[in-house]
Amino acid sequence: MKRIKVALIAHDKKKLDLAMFVKEWKAVFSKCDLYATSTTGKVIEEKIGLSVNKFQSGPYGGDLQIGAMIVNNKIDFVIFLRDPLTAQPHEPDVSALLRVCDVHNVPLATNLATAEALVLEIEKKIVKENVDEERE
């Protein structure tokens, strides 16, 4: 079974929100390959206990590393909880990541409401793959 690859990114003021979200949906995320920027990945590993492939921190190029994976068809979904009220020093990198998702038609959630919609879709795909495997 091909595992779904999900990138998880959160600005500093949103990391706890993302960790709580991942904890709520742990049963789904545990069936996915997870990728994250450095600090976000560490928070998820420590608080939730899931294994995460970690890149550099966002301001040090982590957003761009995830963007490169998107360009190479190695990420299926992106959950990026942004802090819209705080200026980010690496805003051009953030914009580039969002643009790459649009160009390559990769589903992207930037808040908890859309993140839940994406996870429901991921869950549906996992269930469908399991049913398809049972039929074979």
CATH number of the domain that residue 92 is part of: 3.40.50.1380
Looking at residue 85, its pLDDT comes to: 76
Looking at residue 2, its pLDDT comes to: 84
The answer to whether 129 touches 100, Cβ cutoff 8 Å, is no
Report whether pLDDT(83) > 90. Answer: no
Catalytic residue list: 63
Domain count for the chain: 1
Mean pLDDT of 24-29: 98
The answer to whether 5 touches 32, Cβ cutoff 8 Å, is yes
pTM: 0.93
Looking at residue 1, its pLDDT comes to: 65
In this structure, of 24-28, 58-62, 88-92, 99-103, the range with the lowest mean pLDDT score is 88-92
Q: Name the residue range of residue 35's domain.
A: 4-135
The answer to whether 110 touches 82, Cβ cutoff 8 Å, is yes
Q: What is the mean pLDDT of the chain?
A: 93
| Distance from C-alpha of 72 to C-alpha of 112, rounded to nearest angstrom | 26
Q: Where residue 117 falls among pLDDT bands split at 50, 70, 90?
A: very high
